[in-house]
Structure 1
Amino acid sequence: MAAPKIALVAGEMSGDLLGAALVTALRARLPAAHFYGVAGPRMQAAGVEAIASIEQLSVMGIAEVLPALPRILRLRRALIRRLSADRPDVVIGIDAPDFNLGVERRLREQGIRTVHVVSPTVWAWRAGRVKTIARAVERILCLFPFEPAFYAARGVSADYIGHPLADQLDASVTPAQARAGLGLPTDGPVVAVLPGSRGSELKYLAEPFARAAHLIAAQVPGVRFVTPLAKPALRAPMEAAIATHAAGLTWTLLDGQSREAMQAADAVLIASGTATLECLLLGRPMVVSYRGSPLTAWLLLKAGLLKTKYVSLPNLLADEAPVPELLQDDATPERLAAAVVELLAPGGARARQLAAFDRVRATLRCDAAARAAEVVAGLLGA
């Protein structure tokens, strides 16, 4: 076959990482292929010609998206024009579904093959998006093992490739090694406290997490706490919560380094979100919590907007509930503290979690990039 042209569109830095691994795996199968598209530094280092920067799409939050919307729409129109004229052999959208699915649908209508990597969470809410996905892509490549069956029941071709984080992370780093890397004492119990990466999450979780830490310290002699901060703006509210509700505790705040903080811990108190998957893969037992506005909580937990049995990814992937989920009114300092203290003891709840994590990790570790490359190469007849 002639040297294929493969266009990729990644919308976030996590997509850049996955895109780079996918290009490397595809190049092993298709050494003459030309790769180009919306790419970040890792994809460019892997040999992707950037026709637009990933920074143009890496926008989070309504307040940030609205002023950037005209620029994003211009980029989408220009990208569709360019790819319509080029007619690549396949267009691969990586995550960023709000942007990519619209681009993919327009190109597929013109007879261009389209693949989307990373399923939106249609199995959790807004299941109606499956119809959009069916129109937009020929294949969707899924990171979680339960997703292909969900799509198959709705007539969409989907393949399970495993999760790229499972290929990168493991539980081999000991708490003592991680603490030494962070300059922390290597002895004694440590609890990592991760109340979220957004100001809105700290608004609801900083206080109960700090109060829970105070209760934990009263029961666990010598315990220390560590919190990674996703951005500098979160330091002041976290410091205020600690000073008000957990004064006198030994507590270290880090700039970033969330994985290192989890690796340093004997147990983790964490906000529900994607970081819980990292915690699972790193082999650290956890207590998951969520608190939000009364309206948001009612819509998700009472009105049926959330369609899954569990909230946290570890429980969804284990198809059981080894991880305590303390949500909204149940997220009291007393319950949070009791659940963490139970995990600090050997055996029991701690052992059950770690055994479940081992099973999930084995399922997710599939060399996701190689599997994705196999599907794409198959579509191209290579």
Structure 2
Amino acid sequence: MADSIQIGIVAGEKSGDILGAGLIAALRKRYPTAEFVGIGGPDMVSLGCRSLFPMERLSVMGFVEPLGRLPELLHIKRKLEAYFRAHPPSVFIGIDSPDFNLRIEETLRSNQIATVHYVSPSVWAYRKNRIHKIKRAVDLMLTLFPFETAIYDEFDIPATCIGHPLADQIGFENKTAGARQILGLSQSEQVVALLPGSRVSEIERLAPIFFAAAVKSLRSMPKLRFLIPCSSAESRACIERALARCSIFLGEQFRLVDNSQQAMAAADFVVLASGTATLEAMLLRKPMAVFYRLAPLTHLIASRIVDVPHVALPNLLAGKRLVPEAIQGEVTEAAVKSQILNYFSDPDAFEGVLRQFDSLHHELRKGASEAASAAITELLNRS
């Protein structure tokens, strides 16, 4: 196939923008003059993707929260479908955001446009009947985790595990000393990274609990240092409000930092919200405790339809409880404080867990962007 092709591509949030940028870079090696058009964030746009709508308009989470945005989301969906019908791409790639992208993929596939979905929806966890929609919508599913391909094999849906880009980006060497040097921390200090989430709604629910627990931990360990990453101006403002409510002043004991990976790398122990950050902490070989709280109505719905034994990615990948996790009513100041003090009382107790982190890291390190590019190229060659 000639390299002068149009590739439709849509990402709906920051993590998808990062994946999309890596994929665009890999595909450009195979198709140097390819045009990428759809919806992307700053990383994708910087590599030449033409974004027809601001990516932020798609960034919404939960079961209830999207309802208020439904008219706008449907408007964007219709506009995208009309554009791609008028200008058919050689392939359309939907990155994550399954409730939005699968609908577009189903429409485009019915119009004889090849479709790829990058990042498997959690059909193994909830709304399992979506597998039938996926079968109608996609020519190829690209999964990040090995355990995800089984359900696609069962329903005869082409699927390839490409591994996780973070496992490629994060090496196996210890990064603690380098991160501490950058942040001006001594190698002997006892450091905890607090990551209450990336979305404002997450931060509002978890930050007050994390910060109050940190203050209480200082009564037992007054030399503890806490690093709190802020991924955006909006999250920083939310975190600063939570700190003020806990009467915490920034200084030697509590510091805000810009880079979450650097904060985790510098830490001895990480307290964080469930999500991709738990995978990042695992790849950095960091002992952790994972907490998550949803909006009450969202949790009520989720508790009825979600069927997973764990919420933390390291636990899902291992198929067992490697790291402590707690959700909803179990997320308390006492629980968070207990996990912090428990770690520092016997850090060596986590060595066995860290060895299992290494094993999982090797499993996920597959050269994800290049593997995705190769799988998409194979699909294009068959189309």
Superposition TM-score tier, normalisation by shorter sequence: 0.7 to 0.9
1:139-158 superposed matches below 5 A: 139-158=140-159
Shift of 1:124: 1.8
Task: Give the distance between the partners of 1:152 and 1:37, measured in 2 at CA.
Answer: 29
1:9 is paired with a residue of what secondary structure? strand
Shift of 1:379: 1.1
**Partner residue in 2 for 1:316:** 316
Q: What residue identity is the alignment partner of 2:169?
A: Q
Shift of 1:15: 2.2
**Partner residue in 2 for 1:288:** 290
Q: Which moved more, 1:368-377 or 1:189-198?
A: 189-198
Task: Give the distance between the partners of 1:293 and 1:45, measured in 2 at CA.
Answer: 35
Shift of 1:101: 1.2
Shift of 1:255: 5.2
**Partner residue in 1 for 2:211:** 210
- Tell me, yes or no, if the aligned pair for 2:204 and 2:242 is still in contact at 8 Å: no
Pairwise CA RMSD of aligned residues? 2.9
Match of 1:266 among 259, 268, 289: 268
Q: What residue identity is the alignment partner of 2:266?
A: A
Q: What residue identity is the alignment partner of 1:265?
A: A
- Tell me, yes or no, if the aligned pair for 2:208 and 2:243 is still in contact at 8 Å: no
Task: Give the distance between the partners of 1:182 and 1:141, measured in 2 at CA.
Answer: 37
Q: Which moved more, 1:201-210 or 1:145-154?
A: 201-210
**Partner residue in 2 for 1:135:** 136
- Tell me, yes or no, if the aligned pair for 2:192 and 2:225 is still in contact at 8 Å: yes
**Partner residue in 1 for 2:237:** 233
Task: Give the distance between the partners of 2:79 and 2:205, measured in 1 at CA.
Answer: 41
- Tell me, yes or no, if the aligned pair for 2:207 and 2:239 is still in contact at 8 Å: no
Task: Give the distance between the partners of 1:293 and 1:74, measured in 2 at CA.
Answer: 27
Q: Which moved more, 1:196-205 or 1:157-166?
A: 196-205
Task: Give the distance between the partners of 1:226 and 1:32, measured in 2 at CA.
Answer: 44
- Tell me, yes or no, if the aligned pair for 2:7 and 2:93 is still in contact at 8 Å: yes
Shift of 1:139: 1.0
**Partner residue in 2 for 1:110:** 111
Distance 1:132 1:19, change over 3 A: same
Distance 1:24 1:198, change over 3 A: closer
Shift of 1:106: 0.7
1:242 aligned to 2:246? yes
**Partner residue in 2 for 1:252:** 254
**Partner residue in 2 for 1:30:** 31
1:278 aligned to 2:243? no
- Tell me, yes or no, if the aligned pair for 1:11 and 1:54 is still in contact at 8 Å: no
Q: What residue identity is the alignment partner of 1:227?
A: I
- Tell me, yes or no, if the aligned pair for 2:10 and 2:39 is still in contact at 8 Å: yes
1:188-199 superposed matches below 5 A: 188-199=189-200
Task: Give the distance between the partners of 2:244 and 2:10, measured in 1 at CA.
Answer: 41
Shift of 1:259: 1.8
Q: Which moved more, 1:96-105 or 1:22-31?
A: 22-31
Task: Give the distance between the partners of 1:174 and 1:265, measured in 2 at CA.
Answer: 10
Which string of whole-angstrom CA distances, capped at 9 and with x for unpartnered residues, describes residues 273-327 of structure 1?
Answer: 22211111222110112244565555545x4x22111111110012121101133
**Partner residue in 2 for 1:373:** 373
Instruction: State TM-score, norm by structure 2.
Output: 0.86
Distance 1:170 1:215, change over 3 A: farther
Distance 1:56 1:237, change over 3 A: closer
Instruction: State TM-score, norm by structure 1.
Output: 0.87
Q: Between Structure 1 and Structure 2, how many residues are aligned?
A: 376
1:95-106 superposed matches below 5 A: 95-106=96-107
**Partner residue in 2 for 1:88:** 89
Distance 1:121 1:262, change over 3 A: same
Unaligned runs of 5+ in 1: none
Shift of 1:123: 1.7
1:19-98 superposed matches below 5 A: 19-31=20-32, 33-48=34-49, 50=50, 52-55=52-55, 57-60=57-60, 69-98=70-99
Q: What residue identity is the alignment partner of 1:91?
A: F
Shift of 1:137: 0.8
**Partner residue in 2 for 1:177:** 178
2:123 is paired with a residue of what secondary structure? coil
Q: Which moved more, 1:256-265 or 1:307-316?
A: 256-265
Task: Give the distance between the partners of 1:229 and 1:248, measured in 2 at CA.
Answer: 13
